Structure 1
Amino acid sequence: MNRYQQLAQTIQVQIEQQVWRPGDKILSIRAASKSYAVSAATVLQAYQRLESEGWLIAKPQSGYFVASRLAHHHAKPALPTTVTSYHDQLYDYLKDSNQASIALGAAFPSPDLFPLALLNRHLASAGRKLPVESVLHSMPPGNESLRRSIAQRYLANGLTVSHQDIVITSGAMEALNLSLATLCKAGDTVVIESPAFYGARQAVERLGLNAIEVPVDPQSGLCLASFERALQSQPVTACWLMSRFQNPTGACLSDAGKQRVVELANQYHVAIIEDDVYAELGFAATSLKPFKYYDKQDRVLLCGSLSKSLCPGYRIGWVVNQGFNGQLQKQQMLSTLSGSAPVQQGIAHYLQHESYDNHLRKLRKTLQQRQADTIAMIRQYFPADITLHSAEGGYFVWLELADDIDCYSVYTQALADGISIAYGGLFASKPQYRHCMRLNVSLAPSEQLEQALRRIGLLLRQQATA
């Protein structure tokens, strides 16, 4: 394939993904030549080819524009332009799944894994001692004792962090959303993963951003070659990425891969929003390093949380970054004002007076055993031709079924029986994961769980023979 054909194909994919929408003016020949590192003649040939195929329209003295009605017979139908389409789909899924009696689609671990009674005692004790003026001390950047405890944990794992680099947020989602809103404005282009955590997709649509989806391999993580091509293709403002126990696949990127991602971000002057909420849930004794570990230019905004490892529902998250710290505080002040002062004080009290590491050791051991127990039941009741991707941490498994299986149909049928799953369509803008599902494997083994997995397996077999 000639270079101009490759360039034409790249731009065609961007149009299909709605990076360029009907009526948009694309890069000028000179700007495209510089962006794609090709000659102006190559760009002109590519544009002329796309024009002949109905993708572009040339306007004299103005440049090239995306055709209002794509004439090419291979053009895929455009996604709905209203942001409510995916928002409504996600809202319905979260609402319905929350009401399921067996929540295999849940995004949080089973509540029985956490020391909630002990946490409540610390919360009550801290609340009784909380001075009235301390409410003001929990305004952005948040409770100082809590920030110090978080910084100390990072320091113990080889990451040089000051408590002054940390902004406490109301959970990880606020941390991630604040980071995205701080870095980007409507119309900017961001890189997200595919499949991606549905919160990333929702945030990108809500802020009016253009997304380039880069594939994630369930075994090796982010595709570095595709990531580099995405950064080369056009100006990118930020990336929303997970290097450890990626949601939904569970994949972990190698240390060399993480270092390469940071190098590319430096080369192309792109910020990285690191979604690192499963960092404490690795089964192995040695902890993996985040992108931030390799960040020497303060380009990574590291977002963490205690919701998956200690206190779901308490809404404690944070962002680690020095350069954007003030902007993050301002963004938070203008949106949610601050997190809960008593909750921050209570969690700080727990971290100072209890052994969080002892809790984590028990939690990891239990999660590993429950994963093994659930996988054994999946192997017993699901079709034999499934591909199951388990991780060495976290509490999700990613399943690939036969290509003709529609997991959304399985989801709707299972939901009628009080069982939820996370169907693949939640995790990408295109239907390539319709035959996939994410299952939560943190539930304790029980007859009810076994019956639920048997029911899902039956639905899968019925669909395969239909």
Structure 2
Amino acid sequence: MPPRKEPSPAITVIELIKQQINQQVWLPGERIPSIRKMSQLQSISPMTVMKAYEQLELDGWIRAKPQSGYFVAPHFNQLNAPSLPHPQVVNQSININRHVFEVMKGIKQPGVIPFGSAFPDPSLFPVPTLGRLLSRAVKTMPYDSGITDLAPGCESLRRAISQRYAKAGINVSTDQVVITSGATEALGLGLAGVTKPGDTVLVESPAFYGALQAIERLHLKAVEVPVCPVKGLDIAALITCLERYPIKACWLMSNFQNPTGVSLSPERQQAVYDLLVAQNIAIIEDDVYGELYYGASKPPCFKSIDSKGMVIHCASFSKSLAPGFRIGWALAGRFAQQVTELQFMSTLSAPVPNQHAIVSYIKEGIYDSHLRQLRRTLLARQQTMREAIQRLFPVGTTVTKPDGGYFLWVGLPFDVDSSELLALLLERHRISIAPGTLFSLGEQYRHCIRINSSYELTAQNYEALSSLAQLLSCHKQ
């Protein structure tokens, strides 16, 4: 048996300080031992301690004050991932569309600070280039494209999408790709293709409200399975649901789940997949944020392990390239024919010039460089937003730390009503948030909010966040 590798001195210091903060040895705002003192205590060099403290500061645990030393970051030990309540597992019809409509109507008013928006900051996208390519597409695409590029869509775009999946190690035939009017249509068509009115669908809790709306529109029933904001879908609760209810389909997000931002580990993905496929349950996979990862490589998804053809994988360019173009797709596998026929009965096809413009953008070879810059920006802005929440929000606040996407799921004190908070913010400050009531059939997330961190924290946006924090502080008093 190889000898156990001891952690480096810097790692030892990092873990020691984290442990002491979590145990409240050092409280927020208090000074921790100086570099010199810690060097003496641990019998290591001051340079090693300095490296450890720099990493702790980078991770948000401590803050340096010039000429004063290092201090515990405000509220840090309260800002772990929220501990979400487990909703009661119930089978019920859905009636949420009116609430979503009313909330969205307020959020999209002109001039409102868009912390509640579901879309990333539009300034992050190559709008002029896309405009040029769209103009060229309108002038040069074949006259019969409006007919030949009806569902399943423009063949060159479907091939380009297949090639991108092939580079990620996922073998997808061009014939299995169905181009849709955004991922929302792809997801709805996929769900409609494997269910009939009255069937029961398993959804996450909290869930993307679009899933709840689609279930309501199709006259289906829903069973909620809780999502841990650190580990993802609760597998024990999933097993209970599968034993208790006749689940027909399952709508899941494997990466950067909306609203929590959590991703499933490869092991948990495989466990969930095996449980569902063993009962012949189709998986509607919402992977619209899959390209927005912060790590070195794209994380796996359910489609990457789909050996049975039971995953209808849905994604789009709306969150990564062109929000207004409404171009998405479904990798429908064995269900491609059903999805294509359903699209013929609804929208016929996604906008054809938009499809050709995106093909041109991909062929120019600049999509990946755009994505790299986009990821860097989103990561930097998320870190800035989290730090601001640490400084401004009251004790008792919790917030997630996703590895991708642009949403933060914030838990407020339990007596806060996020719907009432939204109304006050819109009325007094023209600030939007996404209240927790959008993301479940019950009331268990009423004290939670989703914040869009993709926007730069300008002076105006920082002031807006401060106004939100002040409202919360007044509520606490």
- What's the TM-score bracket when you normalise by the shorter of the two chains? 0.7 to 0.9
Task: Provide the secondary structure at the position in 2 that maps to 1:393.
Answer: coil
Shift of 1:375: 1.4
Any residues of structure 2 matched to 1:167-206 within 5 Å, and which?
Answer: 167-206=178-217
In 2, the alpha carbon distance for the partners of 1:199 and 1:179 equals 13
Q: Tell me how far 1:18 sits from its aligned partner.
A: 4.6
**Which segments of 5 or more consecutive residues in structure 2 lack a partner in the other structure?**
1-87
Aligned residues: 389
Deviates more, 1:360-369 or 1:123-132: 123-132
2:311/2:333 contact within 8 Å kept: no
Q: 1:430 aligns with which of 436, 442, 451?
A: 442
Partner Cα distance (1:368, 1:155) in 2: 26
Q: Whole-Å Cα distance in 2 between the matches of residues 409 and 87 of structure 1?
A: 18
Distance 2:196 2:475 in 1: 44
Q: Could you say what the CA RMSD is over the residues aligned between the two structures, in angstroms?
A: 1.4
2:368 is the alignment partner of 1:357: yes
Letter in 2 for 1:109: P
| Pick aligned residue for 1:93 from 94, 98, 103 | 103
Q: Which residue pairs with 2:303 in the alignment? A: 292
Question: Is the aligned partner of 1:454 residue 2:435?
Answer: no
1:240 alignment partner, SS class: strand
> Does structure 1 residue 318 correspond to structure 2 residue 350?
no
Give SS of 2:324's match. Answer: coil
Structure 1 CA distance for aligned equivalents of residues 293 and 145 of structure 2? 35
Q: Separation in 1 of the partners of 2:91 and 2:286?
A: 25
Distance 1:105 1:289 in 2: 28
Do 1:169 and 1:317's aligned partners in 2 also have CA atoms closer than 8 Å? Answer: yes
1:188-267 aligned at under 5 Å gives the runs 188-267=199-278
2-structure distance, mates of 1:130, 1:214? 47
Report if aligned partners of 1:138, 1:340 keep a CA contact under 8 Å in 2: no
Is it true that 1:139 corresponds to 2:150 in the alignment?
yes
Which SS does the other structure have where 1:392 is aligned?
A: coil
* 2:290 aligned residue: 279
> What is the aligned partner in structure 2 of residue 382 from structure 1?
393
In structure 2, the residue matched to 1:404 is 415
3-state SS, counterpart of residue 224 of structure 2: strand
Give the secondary-structure state (helix, strand or coil) at the position aligned to 1:419.
Answer: coil
4+ long deviations beyond 6 Å = none
Letter in 2 for 1:429: L
Q: Which residue of 2 aligns with 1:54?
A: none
d(CA) in 1 for partners of 2:372, 2:201 = 36
Contact 1:140/1:338 (8 A) holds in 2 = yes
Look up the equivalent residue of 2:140 and give its one-letter code: K
1:126 aligned residue: 137
Which amino acid in 2 is paired with 1:97? I
* CA deviation vs aligned residue, 1:163-206 (integer Å, no higher than 9, x gap): 11100000010001111111111100010000000001111111
- Structure 1: give runs of 5+ residues left out of the alignment: 1-12, 20-80
**What's the counterpart of residue 339 of structure 1?**
350
Offset at residue 123 of structure 1 (A) = 1.0
Deviation at 1:234, TM superposition (A): 2.0
Paired with 1:125 and 1:101, the residues of 2 have a C-alpha distance of 34
Q: Which letter does structure 2 place at the counterpart of 1:432?
A: Q
- In 2: Cα distance, 1:462 partner to 1:280 partner: 39
Match runs of 1:70-89 below 5 Å: 86-89=96-99
Cα deviations across residues 216-262 of structure 1 (Å, max 9, x unaligned)?
01111111111121111121110000010000000000101111111
- The match for 2:432 is 420
Judge which range, 345-354 or 192-201, deviates more.
345-354
Q: Who is 2:33 aligned against? A: none
1:4-28 deviation digits (Å, cap 9, x = unpaired): xxxxxxxxx66xx354xxxxxxxxx
Task: Name the CA distance, whole Å, in 2 between partners of 1:214 and 1:198.
Answer: 14
Query: What SS is found at the alignment partner of 1:361?
Result: helix
Amino acid at match of 1:92: E
Supply the distance in 2 between the matched residues of 1:224 and 1:234 (Cα, whole angstroms).
15
1:236 is matched by which residue type in structure 2? I
Is 2:196–2:220's contact at 8 Å kept on the other side of the alignment? yes
